[in-house]
Amino acid sequence: MHRSRFLRYAKQMREVPDGAPAPPPKKPAADKPASKKQEKTQEKKQEKKQEKKSRKDTSAPRAGTPDADLAKAVEAEDVNGVKAALTAGAKVDVMMPGDGGDMMTALMYSSLVGFEKGVELLLQHGADFNDGLAQAEYTPLHGAAFQGRPGIIKLLLAAGADPLDRHSDGFLPMHRACWGNTPKHTESVLAFLEHGVDVSIDAENPDGDGRLTALKMAATNPMTSALIQGTFSQTYGRILTVILHIN
């Protein structure tokens, strides 16, 4: 999936089709709406993001500069080029265009396309894991989860990225991994669970029909559904975890 379609697909994939296969159900914990304190904390986070975005230069780097070299190297997934540009003084959080022209940080771009070594290098040089798309509040962790990039998710979490960062649309990074229907999306959900994210954290249904649990979001992926249900059955969960790690 191309990174320029990230926002477009995010809206479409929230509409989960009925009748998707799933293992025999084991009911998860009851839905837990966000507390007033959590809502206020999230509001403050969004205000800080907006303030930061208003101060940031979101223009493309000028040709012939180390910043432009870094953007070019990231786009080409050229590890040596990234190293050379950073050594030459490129800004690690340089903004660059995606396929559709959406401006994003080099870390966001790398997270979306799966340039794992690039993510590692950028983080080592102090890239801001809270900064992603110029025109939206999506962070690299949201992008990596949406695309199903478990290795990058682990790198971002290890660097200190917040797994409970709730976007203004109401969803956590783990929720975006739940929408995906590939084994890599299941591995991505597993990465969040192993990091300690509570699988019972839900989100407001954008259609206005109550709240959505992670299990409901994973309706199109039987493996993810089984993994989520496995958290309520320790034996089943351990077996599934072993299978995922083997694959």
- Each residue's pLDDT tens digit, 82-115: 999 999 999 999 999 887 778 999 999 999 999 9
Contact (CB, 8 A) for 191 and 153: yes
pLDDT for 20: 35
Residue 178 has pLDDT above 70, yes or no: yes
Rounded to a whole number of angstroms, the distance between the first and last alpha carbons of the chain is 21
Q: Alpha-carbon dihedral of residues 44, 39, 216, 24, nearest 10 degrees?
A: 120
Using one digit for the tens of pLDDT, what is the confidence trace for 122-175? 999 999 999 888 777 789 999 999 999 999 999 999 999 999 999 988 999 999
- Please name which of 61, 119, 55 lies closest in space to residue 91, comparing C-alpha atoms: 61
Per-residue exposure over 160-191, b if at least 16 CB sit within 10 Å of its own CB, e if not? ebebebbbebbbbbbbbbbbbbebebbbbbbb
Distances from the Cα of 220 to the Cα of 7, 17, 147, 156, 179, angstroms:
19, 7, 15, 26, 7
Question: What pLDDT is attached to residue 135?
Answer: 74
**Between 62 and 75, where is the model more confident?**
75
For residue 35, is pLDDT > 70? no
Amino acid at 239: I
Q: How far apart are alpha carbons 139 and 64 in whole angstroms?
A: 28
Q: Which has more pLDDT, 142 or 51? A: 142
Residue 80 half-sphere exposure, CB side, CA atoms within 13 Å?
0
